[in-house]
Amino acid sequence: MAQEETLGRDYVLHEEIGRGAIGIVRRATRIDGGPPLVAKLLRPDLADNRALRNSFLQEEAVLRGLQHEFIVELREVVFERGRLALLLEFVDGPNLRRHLAEQGGTLPAADACAIASQVATALAAAHAQGVVHLDLKPENVLVERNSRPPRIKITDFGVGALVLEAGHRGTIGGTPGYVAPELRAGGSPTAAADVFSLGVVVTEMITGARPEGADGADGLPDQLRTLVVQCLAEDPRDRPTARTLAARLRAATAPLTGSPAHAATAPASPGEPTRIRPSAAGARQPAPRADAPARERGRGPLITLTAGLATALVLLGLSMNATGNDPARRAETAAAPPPVVNSPTALATTATPGPERAAYAGRVNGNDAAISIAVRGDRAISYLCDGTRLEEWLRGTASGGRLDLTGRNDSRLQATYDDDATVGSVSVSGRRLTFDIAQAKPPSGLYRATAKIRNARIVGGWILLRDGSQVGIVTNNGVPAPAPRLDPSTGTATVDGMLVTAEPIEGGES
């Protein structure tokens, strides 16, 4: 058993629950009491690997927009002197694989439908946010102990993918036996791949074996056979959406039990509000077949899949199988996130107290934009810039190793910081960008200039990076343009034929 140790100011780490390629999972509790939690930590020997740290943050970024009763909840992110940890909800109960074993290998069809309808409901919510799971299997479904009808939570959305870029091809993650045929053939991952996996899980729950093609559904009750055959269709366009599947599974439960479907498994109706952050686009559905019913055609906008982000998330998948009667080993973990950053119940982030005075500079993850943050005492200022048109100045507080800054149009930055780096995210213009940037070494850092040239007001911002590159914008009477190069030795730049002096911002300026 690992020795108990503190994590940040608020948590105690207990025994290890599981271990993955780059992460360790341990039981955790708050120092001041409360229910048990699960801590998912980047392995100490990999803590200095910036790429893996960024991957860890990308996992949290994918999950942050989800909040659903059937998805394991992310409670807090801790960044402590280079150590990153996700604090997750503790689920008291086995994973579905062990639950099946405890029940003799199969479940009554009514229980299987109750479980599957909840899984489909959670998938529909994730797909609406542009997130696909891509590793749905019994090990990633937790069953709450002694719940009747069975209640579940899905884990390991960290191996899912945010759908961002059209045309990506190639299998991303997945477990043999549950992977959709189009992924095995190198096709594009879509929400339909999760529906295929759920069809496999439903068959396994009732028959005790995974199906060999659509014919494997022959052992199912009549109420389910047609539905599961559609889920297992070779062509993803022939599969129902997760939302349709959830409704049909609930409808199938009634004749199996002789009574209406369990209320506990029924999600909100389409007209009711949900706890899911609105998204510009939903998870990409396959193009409908020409012979598909009219109600199935044109459903949902197409979105895309980022290979780099998905690959990073796959590295972080920690599918721990619950074994034995130890409650800690029954805490199958995953990351499902809190509300959006501007919500009153936004994600809390804990860190050890940061330095009184510091400056940081670097590029945001997966984007050419740069960001710089300067801290002085309890005040901080940040500048985000892409060198063309996007720029945002944010100001706010620095306290206890946490930053909370705001700017125009509801832009907001939340991060933690220490003597080495600052880690967090910034929401601006409807986009959310994550960053993990190191302390700036002079002359790198943040610079600002204001001047009047020929009765025109000039405002310039520059971020000087440690590799010598610069990103900046100069606004001339409200019109932004790429900033000319700033001479770091003199702090000057030539704007419209005139020499302008920029001052380094060391933190706290207004």
The residue extents of the domains of the chain are: 5-89, 96-323, 353-437, 445-504
Q: What is the pLDDT of residue 354?
A: 72
Q: Which residue has the tokens 């998204």?
A: 279
DSSP alpha helices (H): ranges in 387-502? none
Identify the CATH assignment for 96-323 out of 1.10.357.10, 1.10.510.10, 3.40.50.300, 3.30.43.10: 1.10.510.10
Q: pTM, whole model, 2 decimals?
A: 0.55
Q: What is the pLDDT of residue 283?
A: 55
Determine the Cα–Cα distance for residues 368 and 264; give it in Å rounded to an integer: 46
In sequence order, the 6+-apart residues with CB closer than 8 A to the CB of 63 are 74, 131, 157, 158, 335, 336, 337
Q: For residues 210-225, give the mean pLDDT.
A: 80
Q: For residues 422-432, give the mean pLDDT.
A: 88
Residue 406: phi and psi, rounded to 5, are -130, 155
**Which token pair is 114?**
């109750």
Q: For residues 477-501, give the mean pLDDT.
A: 89
475: left (phi over 0), alpha (psi -120 to 50) or beta: beta
Q: For residues 491-500, give the mean pLDDT.
A: 88
Question: Per-residue confidence at 401, pLDDT binned at 50, 70, 90?
Answer: confident
Question: Per-residue confidence at 496, pLDDT binned at 50, 70, 90?
Answer: confident
Q: Are 163 and 309 in contact (CB under 8 A)?
A: no
Determine the Cα–Cα distance for residues 310 and 195; give it in Å rounded to an integer: 19
Determine the Cα–Cα distance for residues 172 and 256; give it in Å rounded to an integer: 36
Q: Which residue has the higher pLDDT, 200 or 356?
A: 200
Q: What is the pLDDT of residue 315?
A: 30
Q: For the domain 5-89, what is the CATH code?
A: 3.30.200.20
pLDDT digits (tens, 9 = 90+) for 82-109: 678 888 889 999 999 999 999 999 999 9
Strand partners, 364: none
Q: What is the DSSP string of 81-138?
A: TTEEEEEEE---S-BHHHHHHHTTS---HHHHHHHHHHHHHHHHHHHHTTEE-S--SG
**Which token pair is 2?**
């690992």
Dihedral sign for Cα atoms in the order 14, 425, 483, 478? negative
Q: Are 246 and 120 in contact (CB under 8 A)?
A: yes
Residue 98: phi and psi, rounded to 5, are -70, -35
Does 96-323 match 5-89 at the fold level? Answer: no
Dihedral sign for Cα atoms in the order 269, 275, 279, 284? negative
The whole-chain average pLDDT of the chain stands at 76
Q: Which residue has the higher pLDDT, 151 or 507?
A: 151
The reply to whether omega before 443 is within 30° of 0 (cis) is yes
pLDDT digits (tens, 9 = 90+) for 296-347: 333 332 222 223 323 333 333 333 333 333 333 333 333 333 222 222 223 3
Q: At residue 348, does pLDDT exceed 60? A: no
List of E strands, 324-369: 348-351, 357-363
Q: Which residue has the tokens 């091809």?
A: 169
Q: At residue 270, does pLDDT exceed 60? A: no
